């Protein structure tokens, strides 16, 4: 059965940041620091999903999706990151999973969507090797409760973005700006992924995946310097996270001295523990040029031009999804497992009309275009098994706070009123037509 779903993440929707024993995460701390997020927004309340989840499950049911990707907040389950388990945290996810199953919606949990327990950050976060082992312990705890009911698990969400934004540039939690000294955060996340795959299987999980943010990289010109820069960017964004998982080897990191110095014997075997699916998040392609002489990095973003853009300013290039998927197939061949598009969507201004409706034709066109591109890739032989719209609800968009709306459902953050947008009705009709 092809999975048609929507996706969310814990810190972006749950709120209830201090309730029922939840510990603080790096995002709680970061968002409360002055100047870190637009207008100082935090996820303290977000969509109040922790209390309103029955309404949100009903919205999914009305949509007709057969799958829902959400994330489990590590600090709800283990408030200090390791050690004592908070039963109330697990109870919350168990209630959610059971409610989804009752409605015929397959739960697809992600174990880490960037909300590292602050206690682990204080011990070095993902720069520290021990965090990988703690992640596997946490995976075992959650699977111990839910593996009998959850068919497909996702370990990490977008380790590239977490490393790059959180540790290299400091624009996301934990707010460290280490440039290439952030690379250990890549290796330790990947090691944590491999250890978690093993822990999940030991606890009875049937299928396990990792979700990577992938972008087709286009050189700004055919000149040698631009080609070299594009290759360096492709290595950092895509291959650093796909190669070790699928091929058991890191790509050439010589453009990023000193490279990875924290890899120990046996780590790559752990990271390459076979997985059942690759989760791919796609938003847009990237165009890369050679950097200026004194730039600290071996590439420069040249910007994609000639395409419409979303409210975020991201270029809308549906065929980039086909290009990405066929490119993965070309690179990894038989080593590429079935793929799920675990996120795809766009932010739009989404202002309610005087009649209380939200008309978002741009989002409908975006989704139609990308689903068609995915189908072209499938016709070209890529084994795609699922597609998840980001997102079910407007939510806390990280450093942008509540300013970027990605939902199929509009959320009025003052009242928590949910209003399905035109795109919700479009997706519901589309899904009904798939079932016919």
State whether the Cα torsion 235-236-242-248 is positive or negative: positive
CB 318 within 8 A of CB 370: yes
List the helix and strand counts (H, then E) for the chain. Answer: 15, 13
Contacts to ligand FCB from residues 261-300, by CB under 6 A: 281
| Sole window of 155-163, 215-223, 257-265, 286-294 interacting with ligand FCB (rule: CB under 6 A) | 155-163
Q: Does 366 bind ligand FCB (CB under 6 A)?
A: no
Chain centroid to Cα 282, Å, comes to: 10
Q: Does 157 bind ligand FCB (CB under 6 A)?
A: yes
Classify strands 286-289 and 300-301 as parallel, antiparallel or unpaired: antiparallel
Q: Cα-atom radius of gyration of the chain, to the nearest Å?
A: 20
158 is an active site residue: yes
Query: Which of 112, 135, 241, 406 forms a contact with ligand FCB (CB under 6 A)?
Result: 406
Q: Give the integer Cα–Cα distance in Å for 231 and 311.
A: 29
Q: Which residues contact 124 (CB under 8 A, 6 or more apart)?
A: 130, 131
CB 215 within 8 A of CB 299: no
For ligand FCB, the closer of residues 157 and 238 by Cβ is 157
Q: Does 233 bind ligand FCB (CB under 6 A)?
A: no
Q: Give the integer Cα–Cα distance in Å for 235 and 228.
A: 11
Render the burial of 29-51: b for 16+ CB within 10 Å, e for the rest. bbbeeeebbeeebbbebbbbbbe
Q: Does 9 bind ligand FCB (CB under 6 A)?
A: yes
Q: Give the integer Cα–Cα distance in Å for 179 and 339.
A: 31
List 14, 121, 323, 343, catalytic entry = 343
For ligand FCB, the closer of residues 27 and 53 by Cβ is 27
Q: Which of 94, 79, 110, 201 is nearest to 149 (CA)?
A: 94
Tokens found for residue 142: 């959650």
* Minimum CB distance to ligand FCB, residue 192 (Å): 17
* Minimum CB distance to ligand FCB, residue 113 (Å): 6
3 state DSSP class of 384: strand
3 state DSSP class of 314: coil
Query: Which of 158, 226, 234, 350 forms a contact with ligand FCB (CB under 6 A)?
Result: 158
Query: Which of 213, 215, 286, 423 forms a contact with ligand FCB (CB under 6 A)?
Result: 213
* Minimum CB distance to ligand FCB, residue 254 (Å): 28
Here's the x/- map for ligand FCB, 84-103, by CB under 6 A: it reads as --------------------
Q: Does 343 bind ligand FCB (CB under 6 A)?
A: yes
Here's the x/- map for ligand FCB, 43-82, by CB under 6 A: it reads as ----------------------------------------
Q: Does 167 bind ligand FCB (CB under 6 A)?
A: no
3 state DSSP class of 170: coil
Q: Which helix (H) or strand (E) holds 71?
A: strand 67-71
Query: Which of 45, 161, 179, 335 forms a contact with ligand FCB (CB under 6 A)?
Result: 161
102 is an active site residue: no
Q: Does 189 bind ligand FCB (CB under 6 A)?
A: no
List 121, 158, 207, 397, catalytic entry = 158
Query: Which of 390, 424, 426, 427 forms a contact with ligand FCB (CB under 6 A)?
Result: 390
Catalytic residues: 158, 343
Chain positions contacting ligand FCB, by CB under 6 A:
9, 12, 157-158, 161, 213, 281, 343, 390, 397-398, 406
């Amino acid at each position: 059965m092809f999975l048609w779903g929507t996706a969310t993440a814990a810190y972006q929707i749950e709120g209830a940041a201090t309730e029922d024993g939840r510990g603080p995460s790096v995002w709680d701390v970061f968002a409360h620091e002055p100047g870190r997020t637009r207008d100082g927004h935090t996820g303290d309340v977000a969509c109040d999903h922790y209390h309103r989840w029955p309404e949100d499950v009903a919205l999914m049911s009305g949509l007709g999706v057969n799958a829902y990707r959400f994330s489990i907040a590590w600090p709800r389950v283990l408030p200090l990151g390791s050690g004592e388990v908070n039963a109330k945290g697990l109870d919350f996810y168990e209630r959610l999973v059971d409610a989804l199953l009752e409605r015929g919606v397959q739960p697809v949990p992600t174990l880490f969507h960037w909300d590292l327990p602050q206690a682990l950050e204080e011990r070095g976060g993902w720069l520290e090797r021990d965090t990988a082992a703690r992640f596997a312990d946490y995976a075992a705890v959650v699977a111990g409760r839910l593996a009998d009911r959850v068919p497909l698990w996702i370990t990490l969400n977008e380790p590239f973005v977490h490393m790059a934004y959180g540790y290299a540039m400091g624009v996301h939690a934990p707010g460290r700006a280490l440039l290439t000294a952030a690379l250990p955060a890549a290796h330790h996340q990947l090691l944590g992924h491999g250890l978690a795959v093993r822990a999940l299987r030991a606890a009875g999980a049937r299928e396990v995946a990792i979700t990577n943010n992938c972008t087709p990289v286009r050189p700004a010109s055919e000149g040698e310097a631009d080609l070299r820069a594009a290759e360096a960017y492709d290595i950092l964004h895509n291959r650093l996270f796909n190669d070790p998982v699928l091929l058991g080897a890191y790509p050439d990191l010589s453009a990023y001295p000193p490279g990875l110095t924290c890899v120990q014997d046996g780590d790559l075997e752990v990271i390459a523990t076979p997985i059942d699916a690759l989760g791919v998040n796609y938003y847009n392609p990237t165009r890369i040029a050679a950097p200026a002489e004194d730039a600290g990095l071996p590439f420069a973003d040249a910007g994609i031009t000639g395409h419409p853009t979303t409210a975020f300013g991201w270029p809308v290039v549906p065929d980039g999804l086909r290009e990405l998927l066929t490119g993965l197939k070309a690179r990894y061949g038989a080593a590429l497992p079935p793929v799920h598009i675990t996120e795809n969507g766009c932010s739009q201004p989404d202002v309610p009309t005087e009649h209380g409706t939200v008309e978002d034709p741009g989002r409908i066109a975006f989704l139609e275009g990308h689903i068609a591109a995915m189908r072209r890739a499938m016709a070209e032989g890529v084994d795609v098994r699922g597609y998840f719209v980001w997102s079910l609800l407007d939510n806390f968009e990280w450093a942008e706070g509540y300013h970027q709306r990605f939902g199929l459902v509009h959320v009025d953050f003052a009242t928590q009123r949910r209003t399905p947008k035109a795109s919700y009705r479009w997706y519901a009709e589309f899904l009904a037509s798939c079932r016919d």
